[in-house]
Structure 1
Amino acid sequence: MSFTETTLLSFCSTRTKRMIKSTNWKVPRLYFTITEKYISVHLCHDDWLNALSLMVLYVDQFMENSEVSKLRNSSLELRFMKLGFTRENRIPVEYYGKSYDVIQVLNEFLDDSRHELYKHFIALFPNTPKIQLNTEAGTDLRLVPISKYVRDLKLSGLEADVDYAEEYFSKCKNLQRAVVEPVLKGEVKENSKITSVKRLLCLNTELQTRSLIFKFNGQVATFQNCRCNVNVIIDVLKLWISNEAFQNVERLSMIRMYCSWDNIPWWTEDVVLQAIESSPSDPSKRPDNCGKKYEVVSWIIKPLKCADYRDITRKTDGKRASFHVDASSFRFVVWN
């Protein structure tokens, strides 16, 4: 029996569930995606092609030719299908190289099923080191269960109100890593849960660039699609040098947004060098490369080659950092 079949059988067989728990199967990552219409679950290693992919699809009535089952110790009735479905057209589809196994749940059980299924997987693989949750913006947050084991959250979608995003990330009591995909509407507050997380990735920073960056108090951050001029980069460096901000930062990156209609000038390193006292890299004082990589939910922030970066020193404690600026990116790394 395959890993997928055994996992599916655990929904209706107490013996199978006990067997999985007793054999202590090593699942390094549980990745949940929650929307109003479905939940998808990936049990996988870092190689997503080998993921077990399940979709919990909410339907008004069960589809034909589907197998009836019942979740043990629950009134929740499920039906399984051995075909994958696109979320829009409900036709067979390959996802990450594999079809989804679909679990159908009636809409009338929508509220309870999220908690029941979520708890089932947590109980099945209690030693999973990475339990990650991705929620689509606009999903009723009352339907989003976040267990004490979750450390990584992603908010996906096109746009989201800042208060909604804040409420979502605040549901995680020990949030370590966060990905924000939507453009945020509204003012990011001081001591925001978003900007105080240790590792942060903002995919569509846009006009929130200043607000998000200058309130960031974590260790590692990447801000993509920034709409700002080069003065923001200069201010970041000045604040770090004077130790007025970014005391905890290890890595910080900004990627400029490209818009054919945007009148914001491209970034220029010469402008930064005129405003910031810096020196060429010194191999005797720091490595040529920053070999450390960071994971933020399912995103990887890769190591940096820093031989041509400029060096700066913080006045209060002598800590050394390096930076590089080109027309569309800013990279900053702290060494000691």
Structure 2
Amino acid sequence: MSTTPPLLGQSYDELSYWLSTQGEPPYRAKQLHQWLYTRNLQSLDEVTVFSKRWREANAKVKVGRSQVLQRTPSPDGTVKYLLGLADGENIETVGIPTAKRLTVCVSSQVGCPMACTFCATGKSGFARNLQIHEILDQVLTVQADFGRRVSHIVFMGMGEPLLNLKNLHTSVERINEDIGISARNITISTVGVKGRIRALGQYRLQTTLAVSLHAPNPDLRLQLIPSAQHYPLDELLAECKEYMELTSRRFTFEYTLLKDVNDQDFHARELAQRVRGFQCHVNLIPYNPVAGLDYKRPTPPRVQAFLAVLEAYRVQASVRQTRGSAEAAACGQLRRQILTTAIN
């Protein structure tokens, strides 16, 4: 068994150092870096610009790619992927194309421990954080399958990204510096973990932060998000203000609209009061149905009425277009699947 960590996730300098310990010339690092991040490399045996002797000597070194167990396209062009990891766990990730961009909805954990009552991911349990190579693999898998460059990344897949902060930070660096996606085109979504928004702000990334509120008051938020008992709404918003001061970055408040739960005009008025003073945008997300849960999506007129109230209070807001819901690939629908067959 090789003691070398997976190559995916290593920077150019790290690859260069590793190759230098084997007596390889400096230009080899550039070649390996290109194959790793731009040519969908699955195994070192594919790197034919290296000698056969070198490839045989490093046969046990893992690139760090996952196995595509299932590819599920939606009529709107969205594609959901079930990816098998080396330890037999699995995750879902989503490619979302438009005419001008290709977005990847990236997972950061196997499952999710936050247990939001309206979300499918937490219902299947939590196993572990994803490693850096497992995060980057999602981007490269989608890019290769669509045959076009990924332009945008949203950490809105399975898991709570700020519970995997160290690997999240390094992954963002690699996505930016090595895959070549602008940090301003990367969004990190969080339901809120005490102290972690402040910690993220210390990195001073140029990414966009999206904070999932889903309720305009503490009592309702606690009903929807059990973890809110450890992180009261006022404390969350105070930390958001600290983040804004640290980074000077405008951010987003996400709000999933649940029929007859948090979608009434008085909820919108209360939300408008909550976000007053923030340089922010409110992203309204009509609920995407999850099998086994009783929540329902509001009607389009109700969604528009909620939006109109926010706009009347001069809150910048919009309604997110649903993509991939036909194949359970939309926001809140991704699951950790418990497989009965082993992954080779």
TM-score normalised by the chain length of structure 2: 0.32
Structure with the bigger percentage of helix: 2
TM-score normalised by the chain length of structure 1: 0.32
